[in-house]
Amino acid sequence: MAEEIVAALESARQSPDIGACVLTGHGDVFCLGGDYRSAGPTNAGRLAFARAFIDMAQAMARLGKPLVAAINGNAHAGGFSVVVACDLAVMAADATLGLPEAARGLFPFLALAIVKDALPKKVLFDIVYRARLMDAAEARALHLVNEIVPRGAVLERAIAIAEQAGAHNPDILRLGRDLHYNMRGMAPAQALEESRFALAAALAAEDEAR
């Protein structure tokens, strides 16, 4: 599934007819994480499973277009990290977010790389150690989601937000979004240098559009 998402995102990235993307789940669940047991008992299989997750996260980051999560149901473990990896999120009022791996004898190793910067440390370890699930109100208060709507309205609202976000100059959006994801982990001085070149490229693109 991760490989198919990568292929879909790459196709969307290259298509000039697509201005934004919405990522949602099927049925009553958004995503409850990866089926790590299907990777088998070998280290090679487990590393390949992790590699697929990493490739998906990187494809989301390099999409170059607005990416909206339509959280149609519970988003736990790796599913929670997928929500965080999206630019915007609309959440069903009765859905929950969380990292409950510890209750199953694991730790959110892969998800941690994505969610660690989205939550205060005390909140992060509270939901990890206690395997506690957050409701929509808490998720909104922590700025993990933008809007809360009834379950039946999630996808429609997410599409509306994506259409609005993707209606702007696609070259400018790509430069700005790429800048955001490229700056993660950079020192302030390096981030400012990256911003300088992105601004110059954006102004040049604006000149061409006139």
Instruction: Please indicate, yes or no, whether residues 197 and 147 belong to a single structural domain of this protein.
Output: no
**What pLDDT, on the 0 to 100 scale, is given for residue 16?**
95
**Domain carrying residue 158:** 2-165
19, pLDDT greater than 90: yes
Share of the chain above pLDDT 90, in %: 90
CA distance 38 to 61: 26
Task: State the catalytic residue, choosing from 3, 10, 101, 147.
Answer: 101
- Cβ burial 128-157 (10 Å sphere, 16+ → b, else e): beeeebbbbebbbeeebbbebbeeeebbeb
135, pLDDT greater than 90: yes
Question: Quick one: pLDDT band at residue 80, thresholds 50, 70, 90?
Answer: very high
Instruction: Please indicate, yes or no, whether residues 157 and 180 belong to a single structural domain of this protein.
Output: no
Q: pTM of the prediction?
A: 0.93
As to burial, measured by CB atoms within 10 angstroms (0-12 exposed, 13-18 middle, 19+ buried), residue 3 is exposed
Give the helix, strand, coil percentages of the chain, each rounded to 5: 60, 15, 30
Average pLDDT on 101-121 reads: 94
How many domains in the chain? 2
Instruction: Please indicate, yes or no, whether residues 145 and 75 belong to a single structural domain of this protein.
Output: yes
Average pLDDT on 84-106 reads: 97
Query: Is residue 101 flagged as an active site residue?
Result: yes
Residue 89 is given by DSSP the state E
pLDDT tens, residue by residue, 164-183: 999 999 999 999 999 999 99
Instruction: Please indicate, yes or no, whether residues 183 and 86 belong to a single structural domain of this protein.
Output: no
Average pLDDT on 3-28 reads: 96
